[in-house]
Chains A and B, each alone.
Chain A
Amino acid sequence: MSIAIRHLSKRFGAFQALDDVSIDIGSGELVALLGPSGCGKTTLLRIIAGLEYADRGEVLLDGDDASHRHVRERQVGFVFQHYALFRHMSVFDNVAFGLRVRSRKLRPTEAQIRERVVRLLKLVQLDWLADRHPSQLSGGQRQRIALARALAVEPKVLLLDEPFGALDAKVRKELRRWLRQLHDEIHVTSVFVTHDQEEALEVADRVVLINSGRVEQVGTPESVYETPATPFVANFLGSVNLFHGRIEGGQLHVGEHVIGLDSGDREPGGGAVAFVRPHDFDLVPGWPAGSGLPAKIERVVSIGPTAQLELSRGDGEAGEPIEVHLDRQTLGRLGVREGDRVLLRPRRIRLFQTDALAA
């Protein structure tokens, strides 16, 4: 089932949770709603589910306006952040719940229910836990049971609220991969909410970035990471270094120094902010004249294949340290150490005009 969100707005008292949000989600897609906490992503998910109603705008499911449809009739599966498993029911009864509460006409026989629940428990690889109670399960197991329960009613859309938010790092990574595989297997349109960019980029087909109730950018993980549309996206996804300056004659002037720009990066003159990712720098030992930013290496942490360098600005400007990632071989070839002076030459720059930042 496809989902179309048209001009949704929602406020809670004085707080604008969503502001004219429009998104299209194709049938069978796995989409992440990504943003900082309090940005409105959970509210959006709850509106899609019908757990919350919008002040304005509509939600179309398969092209039909579902805005007025009750959550029961929307055929959605919802996985709650804290799973909301029924504490007093066994795992089996939890998963069977959605089938057993159906009206007699639509209810499968007990044998059919049993068969389907067992199948689902096998799908989430927990069929051996059918008789346990939720309190006897680990966090990751609860998460998978919650998913099985949501899938039992054969929803057309699967909605997950911070599905890995309450788990520790290792389980999180495992479940992430597992969710991706599961989706490839059952191919139900899925939307999940997360504040963890790594999670969104690794799992989703497409990522919707939300900030302060507005959609900042929608795109594949590669496209939002490589070509962020707004300063917020550039800043939010991965670590990034910021340089404030101005554009003059096709070059970026940062203080007294000049960084050459590709023709593609060139934008009309005026104030600008340059975002450079840590792995997008070339280093030149010493402070030769020419394009680039002089800097001093303060710390080198080289564990694993990548060396992480922390540098301070050579021109004495205070501010955040500059973060640079190099592979160990390159570092060895350059032969630079802590305390050395180097010239930083960004290979790739994402430029935003300063007045765009203010908007």
Chain B
Amino acid sequence: MESRTLVHPGIIADESPSTRDPTPVRWALIGIALAFFAVFLLLPLLTVFAEALRKGWGAYLAALTNPDALAAIQLTLLVAAIAVPLNLVFGVTASWAIARFDFVGKRVLITLIDLPFSVSPVISGLIYVLLFGAQGWFGPWLQEHDVRIIFAVPGIVLATIFVTFPFVARELIPLMEAQGWEEEEAAVVLGASGWQVFWHTTLPGIKWGLLYGVILCNARAMGEFGAVSVVSGHIRGLTNTMPLHVEILYNEYNYAAAFAVASLLALLAIVTLGIKELVERRVHRHSSPGSRENES
């Protein structure tokens, strides 16, 4: 990945003849990879935009400015605006505790933080129905006090927090563990307070990783479908997020409108991947060249 410029297709410069794959093999593998890439990644992405614009820009814009669509966009933004900051604070806090101290049970804690990744989104929604639904543990109490969580915005927010819970912590923990805590110790010896240590030494070192974690967390928060679908109740204009709105339009055979809303989400995915590339290049440049060249 060191250079993206093309010299001789299929050959990397540092390859010696003894470790170079035969030319037909090389071309065959590249062909398979590109075909697989085209069918499975490129085509779906292009389809989204092609279908969205099938009926022209007018229909596209109309689909996006439809009141229900606007309400869905608004709700999606609101949910992300609550879930992402909460998980951001959690991610930074957890990473500090885990990557800056040695204590018993650390690995178990990391596994527990990863837990939501291995739970089916549908189950992530189900647990909140079991807790707050009409037949749930707190259901009767909530009904008595006229608080709606399931089939309402709070349920959507809760389910979204659950599924996006690990993202920031997951990016930061390995990054901070790799950096070590010598710089922070040095800052303490020089008299910095806890906040000063964090702001002046930790944060500048993790800002790119943090940004990437937040972006991923946000992409998932805005795009979550399964969990939200269980708790939302699909009430148009009220409890529909963008992905749910896409589903409704699609099931109503309103394909162009469905893909129009979907194209916004696809753009979000592209921006996310773009930022990821940017961050990786930054991190690569900052971490590698000789910052500890003489280490034995």
Stretch at the interface among A2-10, A17-25, A81-89, A286-294: A81-89
Residue-by-residue, is A68-89 near B (CB-CB < 8 Å gives 1, otherwise 0)?
0001100011101010111111
Residue-by-residue, is B262-296 near A (CB-CB < 8 Å gives 1, otherwise 0)?
00000000000000000000000010011111111
Residues of chain A within 8 A (CB-CB) of B201 are 86
Interface residue? B35 (CB, 8 A): no
Return A88 CB to nearest CB of chain B, in Å: 4
A-B contact pairs, 26 of them (CB 8 A): A49-B189, A51-B189, A71-B189, A72-B188, A76-B189, A78-B186, A80-B185, A84-B183, A85-B186, A86-B183, A86-B187, A86-B200, A87-B205, A87-B291, A88-B286, A97-B187, A97-B190, A97-B200, A98-B190, A101-B187, A134-B291, A149-B186, A149-B190, A153-B191, A165-B296, A166-B292
Interface residue? B113 (CB, 8 A): no
Residues of chain B within 8 A (CB-CB) of A150 are 189-190
Return A189 CB to nearest CB of chain B, in Å: 16
Closest to B295 in A: A166
Interface pair B290/A153, CB less than 8 Å apart:
no
Return A286 CB to nearest CB of chain B, in Å: 47
Interface residue? B93 (CB, 8 A): no
Closest to A73 in B: B191
Write the residues of chain A forming the contact surface with B, with a CB cutoff of 8 angstroms.
49, 51, 71-72, 76-78, 80, 82, 84-89, 97-98, 101-102, 134-135, 139, 149-150, 152-153, 165-168
Interface pair A84/B289, CB less than 8 Å apart:
no
Interface residue? B65 (CB, 8 A): no
Residues of chain A within 8 A (CB-CB) of B196 are 101
Bound-state Cα–Cα, A39 to B200, Å: 34
Return A199 CB to nearest CB of chain B, in Å: 15
Interface pair B192/A97, CB less than 8 Å apart:
yes
- Central interface residue in A71, A88, A134, A150, by most chain B CB within 10 Å: A88
Residues of chain A within 8 A (CB-CB) of B291 are 87, 134-135
Interface pair A101/B286, CB less than 8 Å apart:
no
Of B187, B286, B295, which one neighbours A87 at CB under 8 angstroms?
B286
Bound-state Cα–Cα, A51 to B188, Å: 9
Of B193, B289, B290, B292, which one neighbours A82 at CB under 8 angstroms?
B292
Bound-state Cα–Cα, A344 to B290, Å: 51
Interchain residue pairs A-B with the least CB separation, the first 5: A98-B190, A84-B182, A84-B186, A139-B294, A88-B204
Residues of chain A within 8 A (CB-CB) of B289 are 135
Give how many A-B residue pairs fall within 8 Å (CB-CB). Answer: 77
Interface pair B183/A101, CB less than 8 Å apart:
no
Return A175 CB to nearest CB of chain B, in Å: 12
Write the residues of chain B forming the contact surface with A, with a CB cutoff of 8 angstroms.
182-183, 185-193, 196, 200-201, 204-205, 286, 289-296
Closest to B296 in A: A166
Bound-state Cα–Cα, A86 to B192, Å: 13
Residues of chain A within 8 A (CB-CB) of B188 are 71-72
Residues of chain A within 8 A (CB-CB) of B296 are 165-166
- Central interface residue in B191, B192, B196, by most chain A CB within 10 Å: B191
Return B81 CB to nearest CB of chain A, in Å: 29
Bound-state Cα–Cα, A265 to B286, Å: 61
Bound-state Cα–Cα, A240 to B185, Å: 40
Interface pair A87/B183, CB less than 8 Å apart:
yes
Residues of chain B within 8 A (CB-CB) of A88 are 204-205, 286
- Central interface residue in B193, B196, B291, by most chain A CB within 10 Å: B291
- Central interface residue in A76, A82, A150, by most chain B CB within 10 Å: A82
Of B182, B193, B292, which one neighbours A101 at CB under 8 angstroms?
B193
Interface pair A139/B192, CB less than 8 Å apart:
no
Return B287 CB to nearest CB of chain A, in Å: 9
Bound-state Cα–Cα, A102 to B189, Å: 12
A sample of 5 more A-B contacts (CB under 8 A), given A135-B290, A150-B189, A153-B191, is A49-B189, A82-B295, A98-B190, A98-B191, A167-B294
Bound-state Cα–Cα, A32 to B187, Å: 24
Residues of chain A within 8 A (CB-CB) of B185 are 51, 78, 80, 84
Return B147 CB to nearest CB of chain A, in Å: 47
Interface pair A82/B190, CB less than 8 Å apart:
no
Bound-state Cα–Cα, A89 to B183, Å: 11
Closest to B190 in A: A98
Return A173 CB to nearest CB of chain B, in Å: 15
Bound-state Cα–Cα, A149 to B186, Å: 10
Closest to B288 in A: A135
Bound-state Cα–Cα, A167 to B293, Å: 9
Return B288 CB to nearest CB of chain A, in Å: 9
Bound-state Cα–Cα, A168 to B295, Å: 10
Residues of chain A within 8 A (CB-CB) of B189 are 49, 51, 71-72, 76-78, 150
Return B242 CB to nearest CB of chain A, in Å: 37
Bound-state Cα–Cα, A77 to B186, Å: 9
Residues of chain A within 8 A (CB-CB) of B183 are 84-87
Return A100 CB to nearest CB of chain B, in Å: 8
Bound-state Cα–Cα, A134 to B289, Å: 11
Bound-state Cα–Cα, A102 to B187, Å: 12
Residues of chain A within 8 A (CB-CB) of B187 are 86, 97, 101
Return B199 CB to nearest CB of chain A, in Å: 10
Residues of chain B within 8 A (CB-CB) of A87 are 183, 204-205, 286, 291
Bound-state Cα–Cα, A324 to B35, Å: 73
Bound-state Cα–Cα, A139 to B294, Å: 7
Bound-state Cα–Cα, A232 to B204, Å: 47
Return B103 CB to nearest CB of chain A, in Å: 14
Residues of chain B within 8 A (CB-CB) of A71 are 188-189
Bound-state Cα–Cα, A168 to B293, Å: 11
Bound-state Cα–Cα, A346 to B169, Å: 67
Bound-state Cα–Cα, A88 to B187, Å: 13
Q: Known contacts A84-B182, A168-B294: does B191 contact A101 (CB below 8 Å)?
A: yes
